[in-house]
Structure 1
Amino acid sequence: MSTRALGEAEGVSLVSLGEIKELAEVGRPTVSNWRRRFSKDSPQVGGDRRPPFPDPVGGSDSRPLFDAEDVAAWLDLRPVPDAEPGEDGSLPTYGDRFRRGLRLRGLVALRHELGSAERLITDALAVCAMAAQGDDRHAEAFSDELLTDVETADPRVARAVRQLIQELGSPGAAADTVLGLAERLESDLITDSTPPTLAELISILAGPLDVVSPGPDHPTVINLCAGTGELLFGLGDIRGHEGILAVEPDPLRRKLISYRLLAHHCTGVNVCADPEELDTLRPSVRRDPDLDPEHPWDTTSGEVVLADPPYAAGEREFDDKGSLSWALEAVRRLNPGGRGLVVVPSWTLSRPRGTTPTPNARMREELLSQDVVAAVIQLPRRIHRFRTGAEHALLVLRSQAAPKNQGRVLLVDADRIARRVGGAWPAYVAKVLEDGRSPVAEEARDFPVSATGPRGEALLDGRSVLPAHRLGTKEQGLDHFSATRDARREAATALPQLKEWIGDLGVARRVPGTEVAHRRVGEHLRAGQLRLLAGHRIRESDIGDAGLMVVGREEMLGALPLGQRRIALEDLAEYPQAQTTERGDVFLLTEHGVRTLVDDAGGCVLLAPVQGLRIPAYRKFLAGKVLPEEVWMRPHPLAQLLAAPRNQHRGSGSLVRRVSVRDMDLPELPPEEVAELEAILTETDRQRADVRRQLAALDNLALRLAAGVADGDLALRRRPSSI
């Protein structure tokens, strides 16, 4: 029999150093340091006369095992730093944490004996609910479902939960702790729970519950998809509030949130299975005095309406009851002056309208045209860590806009804000909404819903309304004129042979009043000024070293030299959709930024995800069919302008950040300025190629010298200087 089995047979719980670390909620080095510093053989320094760390009672030298009670008693002597004292004034110790963790470990172990994590959690929350309501109350006061679950609860679970209630001081705290074990219990409940940081943001934006006096006929909060209550309990202390309604269609989650509410003494919260049931729970305030007499009561509405639905995998773009239907339902149930907060997948905001609008596009346009969207907050990537590859946004909804905000929507890129300010992003975003702006322009800006002029930007233009796609702005705090002069001076110093050419570059500030307008690449595509070339998916076995040049991700990133991978014409014939590039086409890779390359020869095949842009007018210019002043854009300026910083930060996507080509923008420049920029960029490319050849020659010389000396074939000697 093993040492652990022997210990458990004798009623002794054994723990390893790793388990002590986990149960006491400290780092592994901390436990090792305790054991070394307070071993029997170590001198007690600084007058610290604590007992020595317990000796192992089993295991091996590489994995010693300790008596859990001995460890708990020793940890009782170590208070947790910076911890708040309890009601009796005593400071919590690592021993308290260790015992609670040990008890929870026992609950986790019971999961395998019960065969279901959901069964264990249901039993535990039923015991918590009954304990909060008082076991001595009459049975009629409880639902049949609760009485049945308490009666059939596993005795070991009930015993462990009652001990947890006694230790934590309340059934509500015990219920929250058990739900917090969902991940360790391998329960699916954790996959749909609202992340704490998102619950924090929604709580701040919802405001305190006591702003409006709740009552049975005046609901304050409606949660359209309550789950196990993360959003409701994130609002603060909801005990005693009768004006809270919750909807949860899943029977298991509906039962669990009901028990959790009872455990917290929240008896005034009604939970139903469908939003339509809200209208049958209680009469609501009559908004319109001229309502049909046969239907005297209007829809149940609230001051705050919340929803963080568990969106299923896959996009429901063509479903009339798709993701944005939650936002429409929230708006329908808002009181005048109320606020709705609804989490939606980012794709619902980024998918373009197209010639035939999808139900998703129609719902998005309905929300915008009704002027009920106050703000769109693009949430930090991977905020839902169990929804791999999904990206989300928070819609801030209103029943009616203030006069100064009518027809305008604030777009906030919380992903960019979180990268800059860290964990304080929820409070920062709330401040941005309060002020209506951010100190960093590319993080937040308000946009008109409808165009105010012939070329004005508007959210109802059928394009993406995702903040990352709209908030492309010029670099902040940068004087481009001074920065360009410095760059020119540094280039002249580093390349003295080009000093004359660099000095001839004419750079000046743009005259005030002649600001440059910008147009989206999508507009140029629709106008026929650009043509998008899609990359192709070609089998690796068809790619060799002869035929047409292939350009893929590896070539764009510099991992492979251009021309190393090729495809034979007979193999390319198997891909009828594949097309070859022409001279002057621009290659683009828009993953994690924007990388561009100009095709100076043509005849290349693009591999997805690489795309291409073609300038039809430039092809006619090369053929001599149009004059230079008729060419609105040229290849090298197009490549560099697309890769400018204002386009680099438009990416979206949880796993791979991609920039939408159609959402990039280009400045509208006169043809002569485009021609001058083309000449400068072409010359810089030629000079860059010369420098690369020089560096390659030096690298080859160093390689050959080192190889010859290493093999013992070369002897280096300095030539005598000639006098």
Structure 2
Amino acid sequence: MSTTGSVPVSLAEIARIAGVGRAAVSNWRRRHDSFPTRIGGTDVSPQFSLAEVERWLRDNGKLDVIGGRELLWPRFEALGSRDESGLAVAEAARRMRSPQARTSPVELTPQAEELAVEAAKLGREEGARETFEFLLQRWLETHVRQLSTTPPPLASLMARIGFGVRAGDCEEGLTVLDPACGTGHLVAAAVRECADPGLVVLACERDPALAALASARLAFVSDDHDVRAEVVTADALRADPFAGARADVALCNPPFNERDWGYGELATDQRWTHGLPPRTEPELAWVQHLFAHLKPGGAAVVVLPPAVASRKAGRRIRGSLLRTGALRAVVALPPGSAQPHSVSLQLWILRAAPDGPGAVPPGQDALLIDATRFARTGARESGPHWEPLQAFVLSALEALDRPDADLPDGAVRVPLIELLDDEVDVTPGRHAPAGAEPSGRELAAAWKEAGSLLADLARRAERLAELEFEAGRPQTTASVGDLVKAGALSLRAGQQPADGAAGPGGSVPLLTVADLLADGTPGGLVAAASAPVIAEEGDVVVAGVVRAFRAWVHEGPPTALGSQLYALRVDPAKLDAHFLAGCLRAPANGRQAGTHASSASRVDIRRLQVLQLPLEEQAAYAEVFRSLRDFEARLVDADGRGRGLVSDVSDLLAAGGLGV
């Protein structure tokens, strides 16, 4: 593949191209006089010529197999314009699927056109869908501050809610609508979640680049399903391209807080059956737009900021939506579910009145669901615990049309007479009851369990205190890089997988650094075929970032590793995996191999040191390392249970529950 010498790349981009950490690239730059010279940037953030970097990596045998796509992306970024690079990615996707295509439906610069042709060629060689998803993900990451996307777990949840809540029999030719589709996360999720043949997808987006990318995404998703998709570039509120269409399911994550949404020119629009949305309430315009497009019994699920549930200006419209049975449920999501991540967003679930015998009548209450307790703690913008969150919300919504069904804690049916007051506040947290208070028997059992935990910790501490250490005993070590060269282990760097549907290999859990900073459990699923690195049982996993540095032996099902996570597979004839993990996770090891520039600094995995010991001696060390890990795990468990007990007893005391 030809490259352009004027395309600049940073040290981080070189690291991605070579499949190594940034520290390794800095080391190459110091040790090799032949390393390309800086062509721009600063001393702290230098930039180099992509063509010279590619040549140097090839000449020195350091170009990883991922280099093809990684070499391609800097050239898209060098186009400069967000729109031009996005349209070029979309055009590349079109040419991947239609090799004979020549004339582009959008006007591109010669550089963008040439790049789209080269990207299409690479996609046909390395996998069209995987190449497109890679380029799309990089484009989204580059322009994350300018874009608002719907995370795949939330998109999947919304699609499942929409198909589950709609009334009526299942039938062929269901229609799904998204009037502000962005890059198509929601409609793509709907296609994956709907098993009915002949699905029709109608999507609209006013940004031409986003619309083109959404169209490309849907084209790939439609390859695996019987789908007819139409994506139109238009402002759905001002110039609705689907004015006469009706949908079975409508999904939307509309733009927030836009004052210039067409208030003046749309004052007499027929969609405002529940009242003209105030100028300051554009979100309620989107709500009514969605509702106007529903078939009888159709359902709409829309993401909204929490203020829409309580702002004074919108109370008349909220009251009308409740009285007519249009607004059936509101779900409060944990912070981090979608942008803006600091806000607890809400899902509003609407349904049009069904027709015909056996139709579900409008409800006399609203279902309010507070799912904020599924937020993760300890990491900024790390996202919620998606699996239990999805299970909780879907379980609560199963009772939507069954008034006598029990609801899980955190969900409540509120009679309309209680909601239709002066405020018409539908915020779930103000109505959903807190969890049930523990009984005296439950408290006694919890205290007993806490005592057992502390006693077990004391026993473990006594055994560990018996360890003896010989001060000053000389020991030789070898770096991970040396062990790789010696064939004692293999090292693979994790990457952010492409966002795609599960293929023949099914789905596997995805572990990221953000998950480690939260509770250490994988926070999502990814198609096994799209995961570059999957840790198997017995592999040693290392987090290569200072703020989350740790190493452990992987147990359980195969798990995909995100960026800055590494999988080390040992030769059991040379290394004990638990011994290796114990050596690597020593804090002194991380400090020695880290850059220490900030908490986000990386750890150079190849520089981590491992004791050189015979295999039989490694086993003794491995046993002690395991004991330390078990002690640490029990300590964390005791801390969590103890804090929970203190919280429960404090609430009981504050409520006057002490028997005196």
Q: Structure 1-normalised TM-score?
A: 0.46
Higher relative contact order (CA 8 A, sep 6+): 2
Larger of the two Rg values belongs to structure: 1
